Structure 1
Amino acid sequence: MNQPVHEAPVSFYQSADKIYARGVRGRYARLRVLAVLALLGLFYLLPWLSWQGQPLVLFDLPARRFHVFGLTLVPQDLFLLTALLLIAALTLFLFTTLAGRLWCGYACPQTVWTEAFMWMERWVEGDRLQRQKLDRTPWNATKLRKKLAKHALWLVFAAWTGITFVGFFVPIQTLFTDLVAFELGGWALFWSVFYAVATWGNAGFLREQVCRYMCPYARFQSVMFDKDTLIIAYDETRGEPRKSAAKDQPAGDCIDCTMCVQVCPTGIDIRNGLQYECIACAACVDACNAVMDKVGKPRGLVRYTSTRRDTEGRFHILRPRMIGYAVVWCAALVMFATVLLTRSPLELDVLRDRHSLARTLADGSIENIYTLKVTNKSGQLREVDIRAVTETGQPLLLSSETLTIAAGQTQALVISARLPERLGEAPTLGIQFDITSRDEKPVTRSEDARFVVGMP
């Protein structure tokens, strides 16, 4: 009689194995180092820079002013931010179609900060084999010292990152002054700690898990790929059979050293084909090229290539999808630049008081009440002159003819406009309000309105 077979329970959750990525040298490693240094340099330096007395980059949320490379943007310029996000998306689509996951491998914040954390980890604990040996070793004074030193460096770097992040929203000089005086509090303290902990957790512990399970880009990137998109691939025709698997037949160029796996920050084997976990950092390319140099074989067993190049031996840069993305991208850039260059530092809105009709004064003049909302988009205080004329050019008498608006502010002014005498038989007539700044190069903005005369 057959005995029942008891199967072991299957867990739907499996802890991810820790990845010990080996350090690598080569062309793409140098490019990645340059990219990391440049991007981190920009991030940490930008909050400290200023232009004509204004921060170069500062998102001043309480004052509702955004200082971006010499421009002062106000909430009315929200469409510019929308356009900028659209251009960023089109840029991602364009360069992904051309060069695959170039963003992931060289410019993504997760990649950049993880790379910096891995540099500190290698400096303290050593390269791959030393780190593996250290983790297998029972806890002792040496292990404790190295672990504490590593996490101390990580926490200092993460805290600096958190403070710098808040420095894009609060003047960083004020922020550091409050920090040194132990007076940092409220939202500034919360977001500094929150971003520091997020950096420490993502770059120190989660690492490739963010790319695998949390980042949506890895899931939909294939939509932007075509046969000519650059990818990192293993030349199976040249490499197989691997030296360890070849028996009665000549071995391929792959000696099965697994160096391409050991240097991969996401722990994949590129020889198994293109995988969504691949961030196209090209570490495997540098590692394999170094091995090929040592064994006297040509480079390029693992290389940048494309599906069409592998199958047909040719590569197309100009193709319909690429041209389409490039045309839309260039058009968006031109439109954004045009709007930015023609953007006026003043905005004018005119609202007529609907609760009161025309009023005839004792001297026979006719009065209407208006609310003028003037927005100063520049980074400096502005004084403006106000005038109003009818559609025939006759000036109106105004209760106020000047207005001072602070930088980045919107000033509302209730103003009365008087017409000395009735013009024509129509119950209303068109008028135009003009505001002109008192600058060396005056800026004028105009807005049309209706003036109620009343029935004859």
Structure 2
Amino acid sequence: MGGAVSKVREAKLELYRKKGKIHAKAVDGRFNSLRWGMVWFTQTIFYGLCWLNWESEGTVRQAVLFDIAHEKLYLFGLVLWPQDALLLAFVLIIAATALFLVTALAGRLFCGFACPQTVYTSIFTWIEARVEGDHLARLRLDGSPLSARKLLIKTAKHGIWALVAGWTAISFVGYFTPIRELLPTIAGLRTGPWEAFWLIFYAAFTYVQAGLAREAVCQHMCPYSRFQGVMFDPATRNVAYDRTRGEARSNRRQTGKTGDCIDCGICVQVCPTGIDIRDGLQYQCINCGLCIDACDQVMDKIGVARGLIRFASENELAAPEKQQPWFARPRVGVYAALLLVFCGLGGWTLSQRSLLLVDVLRDRGALLRESSEGLIENAYTLKLMNLSEVPRQFVIRVSGIPGARIVGQDSFAADPGSIRPISLTVAAPADSGLSGIRPMDFVIVASDDPAVQVVEKSSFALPQLPN
């Protein structure tokens, strides 16, 4: 019993053991180049897209803008409304399914190369290295007593971090408030309460997450690291150490044949989360591949083949001849099929999207009335929503009741992005041979584009015929 308690205490001490700040050694290689390629690619889009303009119908606006005040989402030439929320749902489902597919194929590849936490941590670490020096210089600086030099270096680093975090916040809010309008309001301290809140919050969030928390986010805050295992199988490729080839480790100063691993520890020094990949797959591993770059350089120096650490599956390491091709794995097939289905449904929904929405309300106060000409009249209120960015003229007609017609005006104009309520009266002959509540359709067509057409079902009340 005492031994069990002792083990529990040891486990708790290990779980909460403070390792200190991780200063990873810089390394060059194909995976590091790919990581920085993703940094440039994603941040060029993020920081640059909010400055891109789009001309539509003679007016110039921001190409990508979440206009919450007017309930619009501008995506270049596409304008989405709250009624298009299903499209957003499809986008989220497609993104999640694609993430599951990539994870089943190559583990946490997204975490290592495209996750915002990884991207901004790379940027902030690069700034730190330019200001404080390499990983050894940073370790010495952290361990040194407080001095004027240390204070100056740390202040410079945190100041640059704050500038990057601030500009990141401005770019983020610039997707909700046009950035060309936002900058003057910030300079004049005239931002609204919500703009001010998000500017402060997002800047602080970026500063803390990328500058201070770093690997702790991946290790303790990100839920994806905890449930990623359910998407793995023995054929999933991850960054892995080839134990059969590497053991027994030796510094090669000994005589006799040993494994290819010389126990230099560089794979641990370059790891941004501070793990030893030779201990096997761990949830902290983000599959960034930096340990592969480092190990390949060592293998080149000692004159043996690369690949001691590489992307490999459990099956491949155990028996390479039993490794299944990716397209023959049921898990991958299911994820790929779901991805195709949701992409197809999303595309079909977008193609069926109408730029005109109509809501028909019958006048419940007066079911029907008879005119002086002997016609039966019903009153309606139509709400026309013009989702296009141009003013349009709409023609309304009815069908389903013989001889039914619109009384008075049947053509109405609607401003772009507006909802226009219209009161209509529909008249039908009393001697049509029909009685009671009968189905009727309102057909609304845009005069300038017959393809913009909506058929909305309603009903028409007629007198009951005597038996």
Letter of the 1:274 counterpart: L
1:397-412 matched pairs, under 5 angstroms: 397-412=406-421
Aligned equivalents of 1:169, 1:356: Cα separation in 2: 46
1:396 aligns with 2:399: no
The answer as to whether partners of 1:60 and 1:169 remain within 8 angstroms in 2 is yes
Gaps of 5+ in 2: 1-5
- Partners of 2:41 and 2:333 in 1: CA distance: 30
Q: 2:242 touches 2:309 (CA, 8 Å); kept in 1?
A: yes
CA distance in 2, matches of 1:195, 1:329: 32
Q: CA deviation at 1:297?
A: 1.9
Q: Does 1:29 align with 2:32?
A: yes
Following superposition, the deviation at residue 440 of structure 1 comes to 4.9
Counterpart check, 1:127 vs 2:134: yes
Match of 1:3 in 2: none
- Quote the residue 1:339 is aligned against: 349
Q: Whole-Å Cα distance in 1 between the matches of residues 78 and 351 of structure 2? A: 11
Question: 1:74 aligns to what?
Answer: 81
Alignment partner of 2:23 out of 13, 20, 25: 20
2:300 is the alignment partner of 1:290: no
Alpha carbons of structure 1 residues 222 and 269: separation in structure 2 relative to 1, 3 Å:
same
Counterpart amino acid of 2:30?
A: R
Question: Which residue identity is paired with 2:173?
Answer: V
Query: Alignment RMSD, CA only?
Result: 2.2
Aligned to 2:64: 57
Cα distance, 1:248 vs structure 2: 7.4
Deviations 1:249-285 (A, max 9, x none): 5332111111111111111000100000000000100
Separation (CA, whole Å) in 2 of partners of 1:142 and 1:398: 86
Runs of 4+ in 1 over 4 A off after TM superposition: 8-14, 244-249
In structure 2, how many angstroms separate the alpha carbons of the residues matched to 1:118 and 1:230? 28
Residue 395 of structure 2 is matched in structure 1 by 385
Q: Would you say the 8 A contact 1:211–1:218 is kept in 2?
A: yes
- For the residue of structure 2 that corresponds to 1:48, the secondary structure is coil
Deviates more, 1:241-250 or 1:127-136: 241-250
> Structure 1 residue 395: deviation in Å?
4.2
2:264 is matched with: 257
For 2:391, the aligned partner's letter is L
Alignment correspondent of 2:110: 103
Report if aligned partners of 1:72, 1:408 keep a CA contact under 8 Å in 2: no
Where does residue 204 of structure 2 map in the other structure? 197
What's the counterpart of residue 3 of structure 2?
none
Is the deviation greater in 126-135 or in 375-384? 375-384
**What's the secondary structure of 2:73's corresponding residue?**
strand
Q: Give yes or no for contact 1:384–1:404 (8 Å, CA) kept in 2.
A: yes
Tell me by how many angstroms 1:313 deviates: 0.7
Aligned residues: 450
1:299 aligns with 2:309: no
Alignment of 1:352-391 (within 5 A): 352-391=362-401
In the other structure, the counterpart of 1:274 is: 281
Supply the distance in 1 between the matched residues of 2:163 and 2:280 (Cα, whole angstroms).
39
Q: Equivalent residue of 2:151, what SS? A: helix
Instruction: Tell me, yes or no, if the aligned pair for 1:104 and 1:111 is still in contact at 8 Å.
Output: yes
Alignment-mate amino acid for residue 459 of structure 2: R
Structure 1 unaligned regions, length at least 5: 1-5
Aligned-residue offset at 1:158: 0.4
Q: Which amino acid aligns with 2:268?
A: V
Quick check: 156-165 or 402-411, which moved more?
402-411
**How much does 1:389 deviate?**
3.0
Please report the TM-score for the alignment, with normalisation by the length of structure 1.
0.93
Question: What corresponds to 1:328 in structure 2?
Answer: 338
What secondary structure is seen at the aligned counterpart in 1 of 2:263?
Answer: coil
2: CA distance, partners of 1:439 / 1:16:
69
Q: TM-score, normalised by structure 2?
A: 0.91
Distance 2:16 2:281 in 1: 25
Decide which of 457, 461, 465 is 1:452's aligned counterpart: 461
8 Å contact from structure 1 (residues 24, 287) kept in 2 = yes
Select between 244-253 and 406-415 the one with higher mean Cα deviation.
244-253
How far 1:13 moved relative to its partner? Answer: 4.6
Distance across 2 between alignment mates of 1:39 and 1:354: 56
